[in-house]
Amino acid sequence: MRIESTDLADVLLLTPDPFRDDRGLFTRTFDAEEFDTHLGKPGIASGFVQDSQSRSVRGVIRGMHGRSGRGEAKLVRCAHGAVHDVLVDIRPGSETFGRQQAFLLDDTDFRHLYVPPGFLHGFQALTEVADVCYRIDRPHDPAEDLGVAYHDPDLAIAWPQPVTVVSPRDAAAGSWRELLDHLTPRS
């Protein structure tokens, strides 16, 4: 497995090395020991406590979601189909605060992202069906939910396809400016 840094501080892109033959392929999608060795922090991978999966149809956008408080770390991968995955750094002290980066996650290259606490996350399904799997390091607490509208003009995320469906929650999400006020309250 290849583990690479990205343009966003502390975000990692993990790319497995599938074995392909006439039957198809086999790949290890995650190796906790290799991951922890790369980070130099034993036990990080064993901290994941929840696995979730979503299924979306072409054009669906899920996001932009985040968590307040301690936040949450997660591994994100697309098990079937392809998605345009977007991260935005919302850590006020970070060198990449406010920056965004997009990644293609698909069932061909099996890349997945390690997203540390303190990021907004969202994606758009690029294929007829896209299954996204999330491995999360702590239980979900709805009281800590943060969100920014997927079409917020200040974020200006370039979604690659026409939007087909967005949940009522995501459609009603706040703005980037409101989130900034929440993250950095004025004294």
3-state SS assignment for residue 1: coil
Burial 148-175 (b: 16+ CB within 10 A, else e): bbbbbeebebebeeeeeebeeebeebee
* Contact (Cβ atoms closer than 8 angstroms) between residue 150 and residue 65: no
- Given 65, 121, 140, 150, the catalytic residue: 65
DSSP code string of 20-38: EETTEEE-----HHHHHHH
Question: What does the pLDDT read at residue 156?
Answer: 97
pLDDT above 70 coverage of the chain, percent: 96
Q: With 0.85 as the threshold, say if the pTM is over it.
A: yes
Q: Report strand pairing: 24-26 vs 74-80.
A: unpaired
Question: What does the pLDDT read at residue 16?
Answer: 84
Task: Report the CATH number of the 2-183 domain.
Answer: 2.60.120.10
In terms of Cα–Cα distance, which of 166, 176, 179, 47 is closest to 114?
47
Whether residue 65 lies in the annotated active site: yes
The answer to whether residue 114 scores a pLDDT higher than 90 is: yes
Mean predicted confidence (pLDDT) in 98-111: 96
Helix (H) or strand (E) holding 12: strand 12-15
> pLDDT of 3-13, one tens digit each?
899 999 999 99
The domains of the chain are located at 2-183
Question: What does the pLDDT read at residue 59?
Answer: 98
Question: What does the pLDDT read at residue 158?
Answer: 97
Whether residue 150 lies in the annotated active site: no
133 confidence band (pLDDT: 50, 70, 90) = very high
pLDDT above 90 coverage of the chain, percent: 70
- Given 112, 114, 121, 134, the catalytic residue: 134
> pLDDT of 64-97, one tens digit each?
999 998 899 999 999 999 999 999 999 999 999 9
> pLDDT of 119-132, one tens digit each?
999 999 999 999 99
Return the residue matching tokens 């999400």: 173
